[in-house]
A and B are shown apart, each in its own frame.
Chain A
Amino acid sequence: MTSSIERAMQRSRSLARGASPATREVTAAPELARESQPSSGDRRIELDFVALRRQGYLVPENANRELLEQYRMVKRPLIGHAFSGETIGTNPANIIQVTSSVEGEGKTFTSFNLAMSIAMELDFTVLLVDADLTRRSLSHLLRLDGEPGLVDVLTANETDIGKVLYSTGVPRLRVVPAGSHHERSTELIASAAMRDVVDELATRYPDRIILLDSTPLLMDSHALTLAAHVGQVLIVVESGQTREKLVEQSLQLIDQSTTRVGLLLNKSVRGYGYGYYGGY
């Protein structure tokens, strides 16, 4: 178990250098998004739906109906909890952290698809934040590497979070990239500033769903610190890969009295117990 964590950490280090076969499909996306002309206070990008769709992502046009249906199942309880008012703690319930036990389980895939699904089908504006300042997979995916983002807000380069919101081709989808590169970028997530950002997001956009693409729980403590401030945590579990022990460990780490926790079985295979839960 320790070894798996170590291995995961090693992989994360190699990821930090920018090349890992496990995430190549995500990171090596060429021309996924075209950057639009940044106007003052409203930055725009255009998503390349064809390329995204080819990579298996959910897109508004000609969507993978099966995948759409599966996310419908997932988002329903999340939104329900976010706006029902039945919060189990003081944390804002509309802030949902998407994380996993170890890396490579599909956090970015899940958070993007979930955001797309919500934006496409429901009258909610979704704010998708790349809170994984180490790997910045989401930023890579959206071709927003190095663009001003979360780091800039945390380091006070950019005072207003609203300045780093990027609107996309999808009407109700906004994204916040990781931002400029910073030496101690990972520690920023655990900082008090991050907490302030979360609180600000929650209070400023109480009618929005805010999805945070976070680092894995068992890799470092930052994701856990973040989890203490959000209302809901969605833990992605990779079917057949994530060890039972690791999932249990992750769950033990999160204080479930203040944060609502949900699991998502990713990369599952058709067969018994699959169509049963996720059919049309």
Chain B
Amino acid sequence: MHEQFEKAWSYLLGIWQYRWYVLGFAWLIALAAWTLACVMPDQYRASARIQVDTESVLQPLLKGLAVQPDTQRQLYLLSRTLLSRPNLEKVAHATGLDRSLQTQRERDVLIDQFERRVNLSISDSANLYRVTYENTDPQTAQAVVKAVVDLFLERNAVHSREDSESAREFLDRKIKEYESRLNTAEQRLMEFKRAHAGEMPGASGDYFARLQEATKNLESARYELQTARSRRDELKKQLVGEEPMFGIMSPDTRSQLTPELDQRISTLQDRLDQLRLKYTDKHPEVVSLRATIARLEADRKMRQAELASQVTPRSSPALEQNPVYQQIKSLLAQSEADVAAAGVKVRQYEQQVSELKRKVDVIPEVEAQLKQLSRDYETNKETYDSLLKRRDSAQISDEAKASGSEVTFRVVEPARVDSEPVAPNRPLLVTVGFAAAVGGWGGLGLLLVLARPAFFTRAALYEATGVPVLGAIGRVYTGPQRVRHRLEIFVYALVCGLLVLTYLAVMAVSLLGWI
């Protein structure tokens, strides 16, 4: 810390050697700054506010239906393009500022000045645009701001209309393009289908699925055939086993060979018995019944004889009458039919499988081609559909725009000029001038000190030379020297004080606005 203070002290001592130069320099700076502050013309600021309303009533309703324009981006673009050179030329023309200008150069200067001074600021929260312009003449400032606001409103109208029109044109063109593409794809798909009618995959799926299914069917048909066959064989065996049983049939059972006759006879016998309870044997009805029974019995006898002669030579005729035998026989017949049917089925499936196997090279290729064609078609169709949808929504958007619902520009605050000039800030300039003067004092002094470095302290001397410093002798003043020295300090303080006083005076004048 001590070193730093020592350093600062030695710089101060150094500056003191050039005290009059640096003080003169400080005065020069101060006077120049203050003169500038007084001479600078007043600047008036004109401003206008434009509200940009993007929150419309229709917007929530149209959500998802219409294309949502990026309003923030739109505003940004607008503000960027608004202050382009041609537009500023328009402003110059509208305000009549270019009327007195003869050369292109003068005009350029004016436009350049516009470019620098016309300021367009956006406060995002409220969507408020603020247009400001500063000029020494309040009327001119106001006129320029007004022209810019007009430009703003006009520009917006043109911009959005052009925008939507070009969008619709684009959509139309695209739709037409996709329509033709879609047609082509459709045509191609149809022709392909026609050419490969037999090899088209059915509802059951592609080639391999079909082959698999056919194989499976074949398997099950074969199984069915086998089952039917074994069943038939079993039935046949049973049928053969049934025959020996007829040989040991008793003769008594012969009567059973004519069951219907036996039954009729017994029925008639019962009736006869009932009649004889009421009537005598002479009753005609009894007589006729007896006759019938006799005939039937004769019949039965004859029949029995007939049957017996039939059965005995070839197994036995009674076998025919066996119901189990009959049943087995009919089942056998049915299973024979099943076997035949299963055989047919197996043959059919075999044929199908072999057919499919034969076409192994052709069908997958066809299927792949078909798939591709279908995909093309689908893609085209999807795009086409979405384009159509989009055109519709664009149309709705346009209509929404046309009804003025999307972005509305409203002049919240028309061009207005502050009655008080906004610039120059004279008190600030005066203070800055004073500060610059003080800085100049120190700066120039330090520059001179650093340009001609000398020693002020023993320590510095020793540090720089490395030679022992035996001592430091203070400056000794003789009487008149001391007087002169003190007088100089006094005058110096006076001149410095005068600078401060002048600063205060100029400050007071500028604050009270007397300039």
Instruction: Report chain A residues within 8 Å CB of B514.
Output: none
CA distance A235 to B470 in the complex (A): 10
On whether the beta carbons of A244 and B458 are closer than 8 Å, the reply is: no
CA distance A256 to B466 in the complex (A): 12
Q: How many Å from the CB of A67 to the closest CB on chain B?
A: 6
Instruction: Report chain A residues within 8 Å CB of B476.
Output: 56, 64, 67, 109, 267
CA distance A266 to B416 in the complex (A): 71
Q: How many Å from the CB of A76 to the closest CB on chain B?
A: 8
When the two chains form the complex, which single residue of B455, B472, B479 contacts A274, counting CB atoms closer than 8 Å? B472
On whether the beta carbons of B472 and A251 are closer than 8 Å, the reply is: no
Instruction: Report chain B residues within 8 Å CB of A274.
Output: 457, 472, 474
Q: How many Å from the CB of A9 to the closest CB on chain B?
A: 18
Instruction: Report chain A residues within 8 Å CB of B454.
Output: 239-244
Q: Tell me the nearest residue of chain B to A72, going by C-beta.
A: B471
Whether A277 sits at the interface, judged by CB under 8 Å, is yes
Instruction: Report chain B residues within 8 Å CB of A251.
Output: 465, 467
Instruction: Report chain B residues within 8 Å CB of A25.
Output: 478, 481
Instruction: Report chain A residues within 8 Å CB of B9.
Output: 271-273
On whether the beta carbons of B473 and A273 are closer than 8 Å, the reply is: no
Among A64, A67, A251, A274: residue with most chain B CB under 10 A:
A274
Q: Tell me the nearest residue of chain A to B464, going by C-beta.
A: A244
Q: Tell me the nearest residue of chain B to A241, going by C-beta.
A: B454
A271-B9, A273-B458 are known contacts. Are A247 and B465 too (CB-CB below 8 A)?
yes
Q: How many Å from the CB of B15 to the closest CB on chain A?
A: 10
Q: How many Å from the CB of B425 to the closest CB on chain A?
A: 40
On whether the beta carbons of B474 and A264 are closer than 8 Å, the reply is: no
Interface flags for B455-491 (1: CB within 8 Å of A; 0: not) read 1111111101101111111111111010000000000
On whether the beta carbons of B474 and A262 are closer than 8 Å, the reply is: no
On whether the beta carbons of B455 and A234 are closer than 8 Å, the reply is: no
- In chain A, residues 207-253, which have Cβ atoms closer than 8 Å to a Cβ of chain B? 234-235, 237, 239-244, 247-248, 251
Closest A-B pairs by Cβ, 8 of them: A273-B457, A56-B476, A74-B471, A272-B9, A265-B472, A73-B471, A272-B6, A267-B475
A–B complex contacts, Cβ < 8 Å, 21 sampled: A56-B476, A73-B471, A239-B456, A240-B455, A240-B456, A242-B455, A247-B455, A247-B461, A251-B465, A263-B470, A264-B469, A264-B470, A266-B473, A267-B475, A267-B476, A268-B457, A268-B474, A272-B5, A273-B6, A274-B472, A277-B472
> A residues bordering B, Cβ < 8 Å?
25, 54-56, 64, 66-67, 70-71, 73-74, 77-78, 106, 109-110, 113, 234-235, 237, 239-244, 247-248, 251, 256, 261-274, 277-278
